[in-house]
Amino acid sequence: MITVGSVPQLRRGVRLSFDHVRETHVLLFPEGVLVPNTTAAAVLELCDGSRTVTDITEVLGKRFTGVREQDVLDVLARLGERRVVAWT
């Protein structure tokens, strides 16, 4: 179960990059490609294996208004279901 103290990171073989042709982030992984929305891309950029969900929420709260830990948890849960994020 994911909690605010969980530390997310991209799974092995998963990479977030910016596609300059499409002008959007893409998430590359062995099974395919995902095009995350702006919110998911912002969360994924911070999934470095050292920040907790609380840390990620605080960083995003400085960039955007109205960021809630539950929203970050929901995004991470969906990404976990797609098997692109793991927790340490």
CA gap 39, 36 in Å, rounded: 8
- CA 71, 68, 63: angle at the middle one, nearest 5? 105
Can you list the domains of the chain with their CATH numbers? 8-82 (1.10.10.1150)
28-48 per-position pLDDT tens digit: 999 899 999 999 999 999 999
Answering whether pTM is above 0.85, one says yes
Contact between 4 and 51 (Cβ < 8 Å): no
60-87 per-position pLDDT tens digit: 999 999 999 999 999 999 999 999 999 9
